[in-house]
Structure 1
Amino acid sequence: MELVTDSEYQVREIQAAPYASSLIEGHRDFGYSLETALADIVDNSITAGASEIRITAITSSDSPYIAIVDNGSGMAEAELVEAMKLGAKNPTHARLRKDLGRFGLGMKSASFSQCRQLTVISRKDGKDTCARWDLDHVASRNDWTLTIIDNPEKLTHYQLLTSNGSAVIWEKLDRLLGETSLPQGKSIEHANAELVKAERHLCQVFHRFLEGTKPRLSLYLNDRKLKPLDPLCSDHPATQKDPEEVIPLNKGNVRIRCHTLPHHRKMDSDDWDELAGPEGHVKSQGLYIYREDRLIIAGGWLGLTKQTELTKLCRIAIDIPNTMDSEWKIDVKKASAQLPPQVRDRLKRIIERFVGTSKRTYSARGKKLVDEDLHPLWNRVIANGQISFKPNLVHPVFSSYANQLPEDLKDGFYRCLRLVGSGLPIDTLHAELVGNPEAVVSAEAEIEDLRDLVYSLAETLLKNGVSTDVIKNVMQANPYLRDRWESANELLLEFLGKKS
C-alpha cells in the first residue's frame, strides 16, 4: 500500500481558541488552598530576587483584600503583560537555579483560586506599571482582555509598594469569604482560621530561606515576622542524622539525608507539638522533598512503607534540582510529586535500613524498662508468640516488704501483685498510645513510696558489692528513677548519709 503524505491532502487552518470565560473559570479549580496559593506567589517573589515579602490580609473590612508585596526586581510593562498571560513559561525550557516556577500558571491560577480580581502593581527603575484580571469582566466579554491601569497611583493599594518590586493584590475574595453559608462573623472567623493554617505552612515550606543569622528571606504576615519551622529538627542536639547519600542522574543529583527526631522526652513539649503539626507525628513521618530548597512534599512514604507508631520519628530529606521537574511530575501547585523509578528503587533500600533507627529509639527505652540489671518493676514475658507484662516479684522493694510479713500473708501479697499484672488495661492503653502517646505518663509516686524504692535498691546494690561511688550511676540508669531523679537523688543521699 502506498503511503500517503500530508502534502497530498487539502489543508485548511482555522482558529480554535477556547472560550475565555470557561477556561479562566477552570483555572480556579486546580486544587489550591489558601496556604498553597500564598506559597505560589511567594515563589514568584523569591524568583524575582526578593529579600523581603510582606503579606497583608484584611478580611473584616467592607473591602477585604490580601496583598503580597515584595522588594524584588520589579517588572516593566512588557514583562508584566507577559507575566499576566496564562502559560507564560514553557516547562521544558532551561531556567535559573533560583527559579521556583514551572508552567507560568502559578500566579494566575493561585490567585484565581482565591479571588475574582487580581491586580499586580510593579515598580522597576522608578517607573510604575499595573495590570488587572477581573474574572467578571472576562466572563461578560468572553475574551482575553487584560486591563492595563496607566495611573496606578490612584489605586487604594498603591501605597503598599514602597520600593522596587511588585504587589500582588487579591480582591473579590469569593472563595475565602463569599461562597460560604456562614453568617458574616463566622465567615471572617473561617478566613482567619485559614490564615493561621497558611502561616504554619509558609513557615515550614520556606524554612530554609528563613533560617540563619542572615536569612535569605524575611517573610511577614500582617506585620508579624514569620519564624522558620524545620520539620527535620536539624539543629536539635538529639536529632540523629545519617550521612548524605547522592544519586547521580542525567539531569542532576538527588540528595538524600535521613533524620531521626529526638524522643519526645528530650524536647520541650511546645516544640514537640509544633513539630507534629495538626495531624500528629505518625502522619508527619516520611519523605520531605525539597526543590531548590523549597519544600514540595511534607511527610508520607509515597507507598514505600507503612506509617507506624514505631517509625514516627523517621523523616527523610530529599533534595532535587528544578531540572528534574518532568521526571518527578511536579504539579502546578508544587504540592505533589512522584518518585522516578531509579530513585524509588534506591530509596526503598535506604528506608528499609533507616526505619530501624526510629524503632530502636523506642525499643531501647522499652528494653531498659525490663533489663534485669536495672531491677525493673515489670518483667516482659514472651510465651506462645504473645507478649505480656508482669510485676517483677523479686524486685528488692517487693522482696523487702514480703520478708517483713508473716508466712501466712506472703502468698496473699504475691497474689495481689499477680492480679495487678493480669489486670493491665491493654486495650485502653493501646488506644491511648495510638491516639496521643505523648499524653500517656506515669502517675507520680508518693514520697514515702519513692523512699522505699530508693532505699531497697540501694541496700540490694550494697549487698551485691556495688560501691557507694558507683551506686548513683547505676540507679540513675533505672528509667523509673531517672524520670524522677531530683527527688530520687535526694533520697539516695539521705540513705548513704545514714550508712556512713
Structure 2
Amino acid sequence: MSYTSGTDWQYDVPTTGSTHLPPDAGYGRALTNQGYGFEVAVADLIDNSIDAGADKVVVHFLRDADRILTLLIIDNGKGMDEAGLDAAMTVGRRRDYGEGALGMYGTGLKAASLSHASSLTVVSRTRRSRAAGRRLTAEGIEDSFRCDTVDPQYAQDLVDRYDGVIEWQGNIVRWDGVRAFETVARGQSDQFLSKAISRLESHLGLYLHRYLQSGLKLDIAVWDVSSGERGLGEEVDHIAVEALDPFGYKVPGKPGYPREFMAPVEGLGDLRLTAHIWPAKSKQAGFRQIGSLTERQGFYFYRNDRLVQAGGWNGWRDPEGHHVLARVAVDLPSRENNVLSLDVKKESVTVTPGFTDGLDKAVDSKGHTFRSYVLDAETAYRDGSRRSEIVRKPVTPPGKGLDPKVKRVIKEELPEKPGEEPITFTWGVLPPNQFFDLDREHNAVILNKAYREDFNDGRRGGANDAPVTKTLLFLLLEDCFGLGRWERSRQDRLDYWNTILLASVDAQRTRVRNNSPDTSAQSFLFPLDATEDFFT
C-alpha cells in the first residue's frame, strides 16, 4: 500500500515492531523540578493519607534550638506491607485508583517530596504486618532508581514514637534535607516557622475544607528535639487545622442565592454550577483569609470533595474588582473526560471551548441565565460599597501561644496594623508579685508560670492553653506594643492591673479550697475595675 497520496491522513501510522525503552536516570532529576509549592506538596501527601482511610493526620516539624531539622506526616490509614511499599516507591508506576480516590497519576508521593527534600522515607505498618520502610534519595534515583530498605528496628521505633496517632496501623512520610529549611539563617527559625505554618494552615483549611467539615482531624505540630520529650507531648506547639469554607457565609449577599445552573457542555453533558454571592464587606475567614479577593472570584472546582482550583474564570471572562462576591462551586465528573482536565499538582483545571460555550447557555430552573448571576453579584457589590461602615481601629496581630480559633476571629473582626510583628504569649519565671510582664522589644506577653495550673484546671498546659486568659490580656495590652515613648501613666496601669490580677488568682485559689460551686479560674480574671480604662 502506498502512503504518498493526498489522503494519508485517513490512515493510522503504520508500525513494524516495538522496543522497550527504560527511563533514563535523568528522569529522576526531573522529579525535583515539578514546580510544587510547599503547601501544595504537603496537601498532595495528605491526599494519600485520606485515600488510605485515615481520619487523623499530623504534619510534624522537628527542630532544635537553632535549626529546623525535618518534616514528617503521620496518619492512621490502613498502612502498607513490604510489597505495598515497593509499589508506592516505584518511580513511574501508576496504580489503579478507586472511583472516589484523590490520587490520580501515581507520581505525587515522589514528585511532591523530592521537589522539596533530598531524601524521602516512608515507614508503614498494617494490622497484619510489622513496621517496614523504604527510602528514596535524589542520588539513589540517578543510580538506576535505587530504593533503600529502612532498618526494621528503626521503622518500629518511629511507629512507636507516634503511637498517639498510629494505634494498629498507619503511615509516616519523612522529608530530610528540606531545601527551604536549610536556607533559614541561625536565629530565624521561629519567624520562618510562624509564617510557613500560617500559610500551610490556610492552604490545608481551604483545599481540604469538605473533609475537615466531615470529621478529618488534621493537626500541625512543632517539636523541639532538644527538649528531651518524646513524640507529640503536651508541650509541643500544636495547631488544629480548621475548615476555611469559601462558601461559608451566614447570609447571602443577595436573596435567592445560592442558585443552581445547568450548563450544556459538549462532550460532557449537563454540568451543574452552584452560584454563590457573598455579602459585601464580609470579614469571615472563608472570604478574607484565603488570598486576594480578585483572584478568589470565579470557579471553585472540586474532585471527590477535594478542592482543586480556588477561583478564576478559566478564560470565560477577566477578573474584575466589582465581581469579588461571585464564587461558583463545580464538582468535576468522576469519569475521565476531554473537556475538564486537572494538572498533576491538583492545583488548576484546564478547560476546552466546550466549557466556556456551555456557560453562555447555562440557565437555572426559572430560566435565569448564568450571565444574569454575574450581574446580580456586581449589583450586590455596588450596593454594599455605598453603605456606611464603622471603621475599627487596627491592632497588632495575635501570634504564637494564642489558640488558632481565637486568632482567626480576631483577624475577622479587627484590621491589622501593617508591618507589626505578632504578639506572642509565653509562660516564664516572674517575681511572685507579677502576674504578667511585657517584652516590648520582642512583642511578647510573659505570664507567670507559677500560676499556670490555676488556669488549666490543675493540669499541665500546652502551647495554646488558657485561651480566655490570653485573649483578655491581648485585648487589654495590645495598645502597649509598637509605641515610641513609654509613658509613666501606662506603666502605672500595668502595675495596678498586675495587682488586681494577683488578687483574682488568690480569690480563685480560696474558692477551690472551699469547694465553691464556681471554680472557673478565668471567670475571676478581670474585675470591672481592671478593664474600665481599656473599654472607656
Q: Distance in 2 between matches of 1:318 and 1:114?
A: 31
**Is contact 1:129–1:149 with CA below 8 Å preserved after alignment?**
no
The alpha carbon displacement at 1:279 in A equals 3.8
Q: How does 1:188-207 map to 2 (within 5 A)?
A: 189-207=191-209
**Is contact 1:296–1:336 with CA below 8 Å preserved after alignment?**
yes
The alpha carbon displacement at 1:247 in A equals 4.5
Q: 1:100 is paired with a residue of what secondary structure?
A: coil
Q: 1:332 is paired with a residue of what secondary structure?
A: coil
Q: 1:163 aligned to 2:167?
A: yes
The alpha carbon displacement at 1:112 in A equals 0.9
Of the three residues 209, 212, 215, the one matched with 1:210 is 212
Instruction: Name the residue aligned to 1:335.
Output: 347
Of the three residues 41, 44, 48, the one matched with 2:52 is 48
The alpha carbon displacement at 1:134 in A equals 3.4
Of the three residues 341, 352, 358, the one matched with 2:371 is 352
Identity of aligned residues (%): 26
Task: Describe the superposition over 1:50-77 as per-residue Cα deviations: whole angstroms up to 9, x where unpaired.
Answer: 1111111124466722111111121122
Of the three residues 67, 70, 86, the one matched with 1:81 is 86
Instruction: Name the residue aligned to 2:248.
Output: 233
Q: How does 1:419-438 map to 2 (within 5 A)?
A: none
Q: 1:363 aligned to 2:382?
A: yes
Q: 1:321 aligned to 2:321?
A: no
Flag the 1:347–1:87 CA change in 2: closer, same or farther, 3 A. farther
The alpha carbon displacement at 1:97 in A equals 2.9
Instruction: Name the residue aligned to 1:101.
Output: 103
Q: 1:254 aligned to 2:271?
A: yes
Flag the 1:248–1:81 CA change in 2: closer, same or farther, 3 A. farther
**Is contact 2:323–2:374 with CA below 8 Å preserved after alignment?**
yes
**Is contact 2:301–2:309 with CA below 8 Å preserved after alignment?**
yes
The alpha carbon displacement at 1:29 in A equals 1.2
Q: 1:25 is paired with a residue of what secondary structure?
A: helix
Flag the 1:238–1:164 CA change in 2: closer, same or farther, 3 A. farther
Instruction: Name the residue aligned to 1:219.
Output: 218
Would you say how many aligned residue pairs link Structure 1 and Structure 2?
A: 354
Q: Distance in 2 between matches of 1:24 and 1:84?
A: 12
Q: With structure 1 as the length reference, what TM-score do the two structures score? A: 0.63
Q: Distance in 1 between matches of 2:123 and 2:276?
A: 43
Flag the 1:315–1:85 CA change in 2: closer, same or farther, 3 A. same
**Is contact 1:252–1:323 with CA below 8 Å preserved after alignment?**
no
Q: Decide which structure has greater helix share.
A: 1
Q: Distance in 1 between matches of 2:24 and 2:378?
A: 56
Instruction: Name the residue aligned to 1:243.
Output: 259
The alpha carbon displacement at 1:347 in A equals 2.1
Instruction: Name the residue aligned to 1:24.
Output: 28
Q: 1:177 is paired with a residue of what secondary structure?
A: helix
Q: 1:229 is paired with a residue of what secondary structure?
A: coil
Counterpart amino acid of 1:149? V
Flag the 1:236–1:16 CA change in 2: closer, same or farther, 3 A. same
Instruction: Name the residue aligned to 1:185.
Output: 187
Q: 1:302 is paired with a residue of what secondary structure?
A: coil
Flag the 1:125–1:355 CA change in 2: closer, same or farther, 3 A. same
The alpha carbon displacement at 1:86 in A equals 2.1
Counterpart amino acid of 1:259? H
Q: Distance in 1 between matches of 2:337 and 2:59?
A: 28
**Is contact 2:61–2:68 with CA below 8 Å preserved after alignment?**
no
Instruction: Name the residue aligned to 2:408.
Output: none
Q: Distance in 1 between matches of 2:210 and 2:86?
A: 31
Structure 2: runs of 5+ lacking an equivalent = 5-11, 222-237, 363-369, 389-413, 416-536
Q: Distance in 2 between matches of 1:276 and 1:368?
A: 19
Instruction: Name the residue aligned to 2:180.
Output: 176
Of the three residues 290, 293, 298, the one matched with 2:302 is 290
Q: With structure 2 as the length reference, what TM-score do the two structures score? A: 0.59
Counterpart amino acid of 1:225? A
**Is contact 2:89–2:136 with CA below 8 Å preserved after alignment?**
no
Q: 1:305 aligned to 2:327?
A: no
Counterpart amino acid of 2:145? W
Q: Distance in 2 between matches of 1:64 and 1:156?
A: 19
**Is contact 2:259–2:276 with CA below 8 Å preserved after alignment?**
no
Counterpart amino acid of 1:68? I
> Computing the radius of gyration over CA atoms, which structure comes out larger, 1 or 2?
1
**Is contact 1:59–1:191 with CA below 8 Å preserved after alignment?**
no
Of the three residues 113, 116, 121, the one matched with 2:115 is 113
Task: Describe the superposition over 1:10-48 as per-residue Cα deviations: whole angstroms up to 9, x where unpaired.
Answer: x784x543332x222210111111110111011111111
Counterpart amino acid of 1:119? T
Structure 1: runs of 5+ lacking an equivalent = 370-437, 440-500
The alpha carbon displacement at 1:251 in A equals 6.2
The alpha carbon displacement at 1:136 in A equals 4.8
Task: Describe the superposition over 1:189-243 as per-residue Cα deviations: whole angstroms up to 9, x where unpaired.
Answer: 33542222111000000111111xxx24111111422111011225446575232
Q: 1:363 is paired with a residue of what secondary structure?
A: helix
Counterpart amino acid of 1:293? D
**Is contact 1:65–1:171 with CA below 8 Å preserved after alignment?**
yes
Q: Distance in 2 between matches of 1:283 and 1:102?
A: 26
Q: Cα RMSD (Å) of the superposition?
A: 3.3
Q: How does 1:439-478 map to 2 (within 5 A)?
A: none
Flag the 1:174–1:38 CA change in 2: closer, same or farther, 3 A. closer
Counterpart amino acid of 1:219? L
